Amino acid sequence: MGRSKAELKGGAVTAKGLLERESSLGILLMLPGALLLMVFMAYPFFLGIWLSLTDSGIGRPGQYIGLRNFTDLLDDSIFLQTTRNTFIYALVTVPFKAALGLGLALVLNNRMRFSNPVRAAVMMPWIVPTALSTLGWFMIFDPVFSPLSWLLKHFGLIRQNINFLGDPTLAIVSVMIANIWRGTPFFGVIILAGLQAVPGELLEAAAIDGAGMWKRFLHVTVPHVKGVVLIAGLLSIIWTFADFQLIYVLTKGGPANQTHIFGTYAYQIGLAATEIGMGAAIALYMFPILSVFAFLLLVYLRREE
């Protein structure tokens, strides 16, 4: 973080106008990005707070109504279901993603043939457009054309096709499977980077001392990757909590509004039902929860530094 004296002196010696003085050049260079972030991120954020306190609709300026949107939502059974869904969706999928990602990383960390193409291939769920790959899952979960139903029927385990997305509980499980599928490679690749930073000598020394595979994993590998798993986990919770497209493509929140999460319900109320004020309030309910995870992440990263 500290800058050398020579650099500071260099800045002072060549100080000629705005572009040469460090302080003004720094601000000037930050300006384009900061401007975009102010207009299209910070301003909408505060506008959203204002909207959530009004009864605005699309093309209809609203009246200030205080916290009514927020309190009304607490009496809305769909919103309560949405809240439950969001927590389940985020808090159940992330441990699965982390565990499967750890397994994937441990497998990929072995020397093997074709390791580069294999690594590239397993990253695909994370890389390609989620809305498009989710269409693959949309067909896998289709009541008529599902290959899963076909397989189960073929082996005589079921008689009727399963309507994966037609039943609320089954639909949430299906959506979570697709989410775990998409997020596993992210954990895999990040943990793999952590594994590759584990010094080989340390593992060898532990082996010479008689530590078995499991002990070596627990006492040498785990402490080395703990940090990256935690960071990836917090990022993943934030992203999953605020997800939209997976649910939008697979269920649109249905059947009977039972599979909404905050993002899709805010869309449904704010745009489809044109109650922008109420929609903004739904989205803002995410804010305190996201802040907690963002705060934890910030604290952890600062401590690491």
Partner 1 sequence: MVGSERLSNRLLNIYLPLVFYMVFLLFPFYWMTIVSFKPTNDLFEMEYNPFWIQRFTLENYLYLFQHTAFPEWVKNTLIVSVVSTALSLGCSIFAGYALARLRFPGSNFLGIGIFLAYLVPPTLLFLPLAQVIARLGLYNTYWALILTYPTQLIPFASWLLMGYFRTIPKEIEESAMADGCSRMAILVRIVLPLSVPGLLSAGIFCFTLSWNEFLYALIFMSSGPMKTIPVGVVSDMIKADTLFWGSLMASAVLGSVPIAFLYSFFVKHYVSGLTAGAVKG
Which of 67, 74, 91, 121 binds partner 1 (CB under 8 A)? It is 121
DSSP string, 103-161: HHHHHHTS--TTHHHHHHHHTHHHHS-HHHHHHHHHHHT-TTT-HHHHHHHHTTS-SSP
Query: Identity (one letter) of the amino acid at 107?
Result: V
- State the minimum distance, in angstroms, from the CB of residue 258 to partner 1: 19
Q: Which residues of 131-163 are buried (b: 16+ CB within 10 A; e: fewer)?
A: eebbeebbebbbeeebeebeebeeeeeeeebbb
Positions in 46-85 near partner 1 (CB under 8 A): 47-48, 51
Return d(Cα 288, Cα 300) in angstroms, integer: 18
Q: Extract the tokens encoding 124.
A: 């695909």
Q: Binding residue for partner 1 (CB under 8 A) from 41, 157, 208, 256?
A: 41
Binding mask 129-158 for partner 1 (x = CB under 8 A): xxxxx-xxx-xx---xx-x--x--------
Tell me: does residue 207 bind partner 1 (CB under 8 A).
no
**Residue number with CB closer to partner 1 (80 or 271):** 271
- String of DSSP letters for 45-98: HHHHHHHHTB--BTTBPPPB-TTHHHHHHHT-HHHHHHHHHHHHHHHHHHHHHH
Which residues on adjacent β-strands are paired with residue 54?
64
Nearer to partner 1, 43 or 87 (CB): 43
Looking at the DSSP assignment, which residues form a beta bridge with residue 60?
57
Rule CB under 8 A: is residue 99 a binding residue for partner 1?
no
Q: Write down the least CB distance from residue 204 to partner 1, Å.
A: 17
Name the minimum Å distance from CB 141 to partner 1.
11
203 binds partner 1 (CB under 8 A): no
Contact at 8 Å (CB) between 52 and 279? no
Per CB under 8 A, does 298 bind partner 1?
yes
Between residue 247 and residue 276, which ones bind partner 1 under the rule CB under 8 A?
248-249, 262-263, 266-267, 270-271, 276
Of the candidate spans 34-42, 65-73, 89-97, 214-222, the one that interacts with partner 1 by CB under 8 A turns out to be 34-42
Point out which span in 63-71, 76-84, 158-166, 231-239 binds partner 1 (CB under 8 A).
231-239
Site string for partner 1, 156-185 (x = CB under 8 A): -------------------------x--xx
Q: Does 218 bind partner 1 (CB under 8 A)?
A: no
> Residue 71 Cβ, how far from partner 1 at the closest point, in Å?
19
Q: Which of 25, 170, 206, 211 is in the footprint of partner 1 by CB under 8 A?
A: 25
Let me know: does 240 contact 231? Beta carbons within 8 Å.
Answer: no
Q: Minimum CB separation from partner 1 for residue 118, in Å?
A: 7
Give which of 182, 185, 195 is closest to 249, Cα–Cα.
Answer: 182
User: What CA–CA distance (Å, rounded) separates 82 from 260?
Assistant: 5
